[in-house]
């Protein structure tokens, strides 16, 4: 970073200052970064994973996504819980928890961001959009 004066400091273009700090009104939303050079969406990164650009702008996600992978975890918890990778509609992947029975969450299920957040891990919590029809599988 280059500062034109020693007595005053100005943030350089593309710095990550305040990138991951949403306002109080957007506390129940997921914020992600989009590269200004190639348009790649990413979550909690300092550099673009495609072009390595450092100019990332913060955007607010709509909250809709699809479960790409889900697993049931029994470790360090009194009850079983699921850990899922959710591919959001904007194109980035986030790790979170889907509400419901842990064995009832499958790849391809559509989810939406819930208003709650995991109090222990701080990860986003999702809920199923529509109950899956699994009578034939």
Q: What is the pLDDT of residues 50-76, one digit of tens each?
A: 999 999 999 999 999 999 999 888 877
pTM: 0.69
Chain position carrying tokens 């300092």: 46
End-to-end CA separation in angstroms for the chain: 56
d(CA 19, CA 33): 8
Overall average pLDDT of the 98-114 stretch: 88
| Predicted confidence (pLDDT) at residue 132 exceeds the cutoff of 70 | no
The answer to whether residues 114 and 105 touch, using CB atoms and an 8 Å cutoff, is no
pLDDT bin (cut points 50, 70, 90) of residue 121 is: confident
- How many CB atoms within 10 Å of residue 126? 28
CA distances from 86 to 40, 50, 58, 114, 130 (A): 17, 20, 19, 13, 16
């Amino acid at each position: 970073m280059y500062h034109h004066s020693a007595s005053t400091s100005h943030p350089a273009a593309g710095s990550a200052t305040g990138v991951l700090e949403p306002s109080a009104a957007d506390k129940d939303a997921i914020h992600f970064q989009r590269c200004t050079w190639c348009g790649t969406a990413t979550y909690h990164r300092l550099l673009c994973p495609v072009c390595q650009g450092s100019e990332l702008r913060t955007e607010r996600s709509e909250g809709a996504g699809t479960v790409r992978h889900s697993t049931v975890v029994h470790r360090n918890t009194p009850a079983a819980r699921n850990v899922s990778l959710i591919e959001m509609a904007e194109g980035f992947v986030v790790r979170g928890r889907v509400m419901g029975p842990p064995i009832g969450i499958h790849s391809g299920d559509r989810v939406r961001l819930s208003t709650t957040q995991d109090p222990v891990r701080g990860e986003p919590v999702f809920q199923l959009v529509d109950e899956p029809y699994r009578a034939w599988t």
